[in-house]
Chains A and B, each alone.
Chain A
Amino acid sequence: MNLGYYPGCSLHGSSDDYQQSLKACFSALGVSLKELDDWICCGATAAHSLNHKLSIALPARNLGLAAQQGCNELLAPCSMCSLQLKKAQKAIAGDPALAAEMSRIVEAKPDGARVLNLVEAFERVGLETIKTAVKTPLADFKVACYYGCLLTRPPKVAEFDDCEQPESMDKVVEALGAKAVAWNYKTECCGAGMTMASEETVLELSHKILADAAAHGAQSIAVACPMCHVNLDMKQAAIEARYGTKYGMTIYYLCDLVGLALGLTPQALGINRHFAGRKA
């Protein structure tokens, strides 16, 4: 199976452990990821905060590249990227004048490639296929599936799972033999891009997530977004210091868990490059 691959800036930057894990995992599943050639930043929070046209143009450029490069399905493992791409797609599809303007601005015609977030990509591979490929079931794993904000919201754009009580990631985790715990903070915000500019925000919000996961018996949290990973993993020590609680919670990218179940080593998946919890 082939999937187009849009890494986004984080996966080539300080969250390239996510890319390492992703590539190892999908390779083991027999899925080849073809990186979009000369892709550009999707604009993330900065674009939609400062300039409306730009927030559509930057994703539109990438959709145009996808069309030019014959890519029908595009995996965007960062949930911000996947949402921005979907948002631009919807805005353009509903407004022919906007579509024309965007084609002119980005010098390409953004077409209808299907944008997939990480969970959708695993669903595309097929849960049954994944189940069959499991070599080392994650029998003692108690995982809190953390969806964050942008996998399921806003529901009319993301068109994925239920934004109040999602179950899609839980089903993937259960297919690996692990237990997906029931907990309250599946879709509460971690603080998003405020890590540098408003650290307090991230500490407060991510602390609540860690606390609730722990209170419900989770030993680890699964995420499908590099920003969520940074806030829960890289900032975990700062949270522990601020709130005086030790969590030692391992934050896995969902593809880490799939990879481990397929028999890959933590090193191969880049788990040893995480900050908090189990490195091996």
Chain B
Amino acid sequence: MNAKMQSDSISLLESLAQTKLADCYQCGKCTAGCPRSAHMDKTPNQLIRMVQLGDVDAALKTDAIWQCVSCETCTARCPKNVDCAAIIDALRQVSYERGMTSKQQAAVVLFQKAFLASVRRNGRVNEIEMIAQYKIEGFAAMRRLGFLFDGAMLAPQLQMHRKLHILGEKVRDRDLVRRIFARCMDGKA
């Protein structure tokens, strides 16, 4: 990535997150309060530091951005009003758009993808449809048979509590939903 592309990426991230990266003075309070930081390959303050230094690509490829649970603790506690959670969101958005998502975290990426696909089709999430897509695409990506059957025992339990809704719901104006998705994700007018 050359210098211009780097600075464009940084501007893009700042504009998506609506926050200023130069404000961060690397105090580490975000990392300190993050429930996942002990498991991350790069901690939240390190992700911001990487972008500050222009190493955007490396940040986009981390597992960390997909391990984030969006609990917003970092943003709530930042002494410089840097919206750290929004930066992580922005990194996810750009990473996904550029096809640079972490292989280790494929399950998380595919889950979100399946969720949105179901919403795009129906206007609301159809849980069975979403899980089906998630399982199929996840198996294709990870090639682990066990993946198909993880959590399968939950189905009969859900059924027992009358929580398994096979059919799911569809919104009436589904065409509008598809137009919204096209405008946002496909760059259509």
B34-92 with Cβ < 8 A to chain A: 35-36, 67, 69-73, 75-76, 83, 85, 89-90, 92
Contact B35 A49 (CB under 8 A): no
A residues within 8 A CB of B124? 9, 12, 39-41
B residues within 8 A CB of A91? 18
Contact B108 A197 (CB under 8 A): yes
Contact A196 B131 (CB under 8 A): yes
Does B107 belong to the interface (CB within 8 Å)?
yes
Does B139 belong to the interface (CB within 8 Å)?
no
Contact B185 A54 (CB under 8 A): yes
Contact B111 A153 (CB under 8 A): no
Q: Given B16, B154, B169, B180, which contacts A105 in the complex, CB threshold below 8 Å?
A: B180
Instruction: Give Cα A141 to B75, complex, Å.
Output: 35
Count how many chain B residues have C-beta atoms less than 8 Å from C-beta atoms of the other chain.
58
Contact B67 A53 (CB under 8 A): no
7 smallest beta-carbon distances between A and B, as pairs: A189-B71, A46-B115, A197-B111, A153-B72, A53-B184, A46-B112, A54-B184
A residues within 8 A CB of B89? 48-49, 52, 55
Instruction: Give Cα A8 to B184, complex, Å.
Output: 21
In the complex, 12 of the A-B residue pairs with CB atoms within 8 angstroms, ordered by the A residue number, are A9-B124, A14-B158, A38-B173, A40-B177, A49-B70, A51-B96, A51-B185, A54-B181, A106-B180, A189-B71, A196-B134, A201-B67
A1-45 with Cβ < 8 A to chain B: 9, 12-17, 38-41, 43-45
**B17's closest neighbor in chain A, by CB?**
A52
Contact B163 A191 (CB under 8 A): no
Within the complex, the shortest CB–CB distance from A248 to chain B, in Å, comes to 17
Does A133 belong to the interface (CB within 8 Å)?
no
Within the complex, the shortest CB–CB distance from B180 to chain A, in Å, comes to 5
Contact A13 B127 (CB under 8 A): yes
Q: A9-B124, A201-B69 are in contact. List 17 more A-B contacts (CB 8 A).
A: A14-B165, A17-B163, A41-B125, A50-B113, A61-B180, A105-B184, A154-B72, A163-B76, A189-B71, A192-B69, A192-B71, A196-B131, A197-B107, A234-B154, A273-B161, A273-B162, A274-B161
Instruction: Give Cα A13 to B131, complex, Å.
Output: 13
Q: Quick one: CB contact mask for A124-154 with B, threshold 8 Å, 1 for yes?
A: 0000000000000000000000000110111
B residues within 8 A CB of A39? 124, 171
Instruction: Give Cα A193 to B113, complex, Å.
Output: 13
Q: Given A44, A52, A201, which contacts B93 in the complex, CB threshold below 8 Å?
A: A52
Does A47 belong to the interface (CB within 8 Å)?
yes
Does A155 belong to the interface (CB within 8 Å)?
yes
Does B146 belong to the interface (CB within 8 Å)?
no
Contact B116 A50 (CB under 8 A): yes
Does A159 belong to the interface (CB within 8 Å)?
no
A residues within 8 A CB of B164? 14
Once A41-B119, A52-B93 are accepted as A-B contacts, the answer to whether A154 and B180 lie under 8 Å apart by CB is no
Instruction: Give Cα A70 to B169, complex, Å.
Output: 24
The interface size bin for chain A is 35 or more
Tell me the A residues contacting B by CB distance below 8 Å: 9, 12-17, 38-41, 43-55, 57-58, 61, 91, 105-107, 149-150, 152-155, 163, 188-189, 191-194, 196-199, 201, 205, 234, 273-275
**A148's closest neighbor in chain B, by CB?**
B71
Does B103 belong to the interface (CB within 8 Å)?
no
Contact B90 A52 (CB under 8 A): yes
**B81's closest neighbor in chain A, by CB?**
A156
Once A9-B125, A13-B127 are accepted as A-B contacts, the answer to whether A155 and B76 lie under 8 Å apart by CB is yes
Once A41-B123, A153-B72 are accepted as A-B contacts, the answer to whether A47 and B108 lie under 8 Å apart by CB is no
Instruction: Give Cα A53 to B180, complex, Å.
Output: 10
**A191's closest neighbor in chain B, by CB?**
B69
Q: Given A38, A57, A153, A163, which contacts B183 in the complex, CB threshold below 8 Å?
A: A57
